[in-house]
């Protein structure tokens, strides 16, 4: 029995305005708290050496030089780079009877990063842990 014949029932509707307000607040919160990384504008300023010369450790150091065209020299003798294992053997030969000599890396400013890493890896394989780098003082340019 329908006692309300003349009254039509209204359809319930969802009010979208409060939902949009809440979503906008959440969107603004996410935009403010998100950190953006911008690697394209990363600028690196390399340090310059302006200190005094350090005290050299006992024993004869091994001077390893590398130029911009990746030519290597151990104690001023040109040494071909045929792999890290072969270069570590050349370092062991240059060390002679020393157990842990200091490796001094003289790298050209235009030398690749990989060439310096090759020298460091060869020293690690040879068992030499003391590595130092030479720099040019600003006054000597």
Q: What's the structural domain count of the chain?
A: 1
| Distance between CA atoms of residues 61 and 79, nearest Å | 17
In a domain, 78, yes or no: yes
In a domain, 3, yes or no: no
pLDDT at 47: 44
**CA distances (Å), 55 to each of 48, 58, 132, in order?**
19, 9, 12
In a domain, 106, yes or no: yes
Domain extent, residue 118, equals: 74-140
Instruction: Please give the structure tokens belonging to residue 121.
Output: 């890896």
In a domain, 95, yes or no: yes
In a domain, 64, yes or no: no
If the chain, 141 residues long, is cut into consecutive pieces of 10 residues, what is the mean pLDDT of each piece? Answer: 66 86 93 66 47 67 87 88 92 89 86 90 92 72 49
Please say whether the beta carbons of 66 and 107 come within 8 A. Answer: yes
In a domain, 13, yes or no: no
pLDDT at 49: 61
């Amino acid at each position: 029995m329908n006692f309300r014949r003349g009254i039509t029932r209204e359809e319930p509707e969802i009010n979208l305005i409060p939902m949009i307000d809440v979503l906008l607040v959440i969107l603004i919160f996410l935009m403010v708290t998100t950190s953006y990384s911008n690697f394209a504008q990363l600028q690196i300023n390399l340090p310059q050496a302006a200190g005094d010369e350090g005290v050299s450790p006992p024993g004869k150091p091994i001077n390893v030089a590398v130029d911009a065209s990746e030519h290597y020299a151990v104690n001023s003798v040109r040494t071909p780079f045929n792999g890290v294992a072969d270069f570590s053997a050349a370092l062991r030969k240059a060390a002679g009877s020393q157990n842990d000599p200091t490796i001094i890396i003289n790298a050209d400013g235009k030398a690749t990063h990989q060439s310096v890493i090759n020298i460091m890896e060869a020293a690690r394989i040879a068992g030499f842990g003391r590595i130092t780098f030479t720099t040019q003082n600003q006054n000597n340019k």
